[in-house]
Amino acid sequence: MNRADHVAANPDFPWLDAEDVSGVTKFLEQRGWLEPGERVLDCGRAGDGNMNLTLRVRTNCRSVVVKQARPWVEKYDHIEAPWNRVDFERRFYERVASIPDVASRMPRLLASDADARVLMLEYVDGADDFTALYGGATIDKPIVAELVKYVSALHLATRDERAEQFSNTAMRKLNHTHIFEIPLLEENGVPLEQIENGLSRAASELRRDDAYLGKTYALGKQYLETGTCLVHGDFFPGSWLWCPRGLFVIDPEFCFFGSPEVDLGCAIAHMALARQDRAPVNAILEGYDQASGGSGVEAGLVARYAAVEVMRRLIGVAQLPIPASDGWRAELLLRSRSAMLDSSWELLWT
């Protein structure tokens, strides 16, 4: 089913729309989410998120984020997505509320409606995400330290807890498809030659590499297994915000009970994709090891998750705002192969 089919099949569902201020107002009023005397002034899209409809609603008293999950991917509405993902995001916010180093770096959950698949969250004023890193900006050491505090606190506080409430199986399967399967299809609909001359040829060679495919598919199987702690699941610059209040992390709809290496590998991959030097990676791994009291993570597994994230961002559907390049993408794709086969993140840089 596509977007139109879902809307037609659910005519009584409260589909929110950035252009329908009166409809958004009515939705908030019916649920008692507005304070006495509070009235909506305007609303519009908040950011360029892929998965959900995310609105900034401005009232005469405050601004809030109203986030609605749909049974499709908002940016690619021909792709179906699990409609219950909002439940797991809500559970994530509720769980981390008691973890100070995590809760202090996330917006507050203000209200939720499971039937309407909606969350209302604190609006973080003056915030920008870190996608500028892909265009040549550099990430500062204090920001890296804040990211480490967040992710290490999340993993350590939830280690060996009950995993069932964070299974998020359908979303994990969707992500698995887009990380481990679609990028490696010979015809996946991504116009690689329009992105960079020669990238299609490099991708075809990778897709015929049996040794690489074996390791990648084995990693994909491990990704779907239950792990040891709660992970954010999409720990990359688009989920990181900087504002006058400091670092914030958003969009945990891909959260699940998995391996800490998932989050670390993702962050490291994007340091390579953003052409940062190795210093932030060393700071992430050393800081995490120190925060975890030396219990640490498996370095080779971190490297393999980093390698597959680089690969899927270069030749998969979820493209990044990386400037035009002449051979750089194909070269990094080749390095990601080496990093996967040798279980070494350093090979993403050499």
CA angle, corner 318, sides to 197 and 272, nearest 5? 70
Token pair for 329: 């993408």
Question: Given a cut of 90, is residue 298 above it in pLDDT?
Answer: yes
Average pLDDT, the chain: 95
What is the pLDDT at residue 51?
87
Mean pLDDT of the 49-71 span:
93
What one-character-per-residue DSSP string does 137-206 give? Answer: ----HHHHHHHHHHHHHHHHHTTT---GGG--HHHHHHHHIIIIIGGGSS--S--HHHHSTTHHHHHHHH
Q: What local confidence, expressed as pLDDT, does residue 297 receive?
A: 92
Q: From CA 56, how far away is CA 66, in angstroms rounded?
A: 6
The mean-pLDDT minimum among 45-49, 146-150, 177-181, 238-242 falls in: 45-49
Query: Quick check: 105 and 242 in contact, CB under 8 A?
Result: no
Residues 339-350, buried b or exposed e (16+ Cβ, 10 A)? bbbebbbebbee
Alpha helices in the chain (DSSP H): 3-9, 21-30, 85-96, 100-103, 141-157, 169-176, 192-195, 199-207, 210-223, 260-273, 279-291, 299-315, 328-342
Same domain, 72 and 194: no
The pLDDT value given to residue 52: 92
Are residues 343 and 257 both part of a single domain?
A: yes
Residues 296 and 173 in one domain: yes
Q: Give the global pTM.
A: 0.95
Q: What is the pLDDT of residues 184-236, one digit of tens each?
A: 999 999 999 999 999 999 999 999 999 999 999 999 999 999 999 999 999 99
79 plus 161 within the same structural domain:
no
Statement to judge: residues 149 and 50 lie in one domain: no
The DSSP code for 79 is S
Domain that holds residue 48: 3-122
Q: Kindly tell me if the per-residue pLDDT of 4 is higher than 90.
A: no
Q: Which of 99, 122, 145 is the endpoint of a domain?
A: 122
| β-pair partners for 120 | 66, 111
Give the Cα separation of 211 and 209 in Å (integer).
Answer: 6
Q: Are residues 133 and 278 in the same domain?
A: yes
- Give whole-number Cα distances, 109 to 48, 68, 112, 124, 345, in Å: 20, 14, 8, 12, 36
Q: Are residues 109 and 232 in the same domain?
A: no
State which of 95, 122, 149 marks the end of a domain: 122
The domain boundary, picked from 88, 122, 156, lies at 122
- 244 with 114, same domain: the answer is no
170 and 144 co-located in one domain: yes
Domain harbouring 10, CATH code: 3.30.200.20
Running DSSP on this structure, what letter comes out for residue 344? -
Same domain, 80 and 165: no
Cβ neighbors of 11 (< 8 A, separation 6 or more) are none
For the chain, the domain total comes to 2
Q: Report the CATH number that the domain containing residue 160 is assigned in CATH.
A: 3.90.1200.10
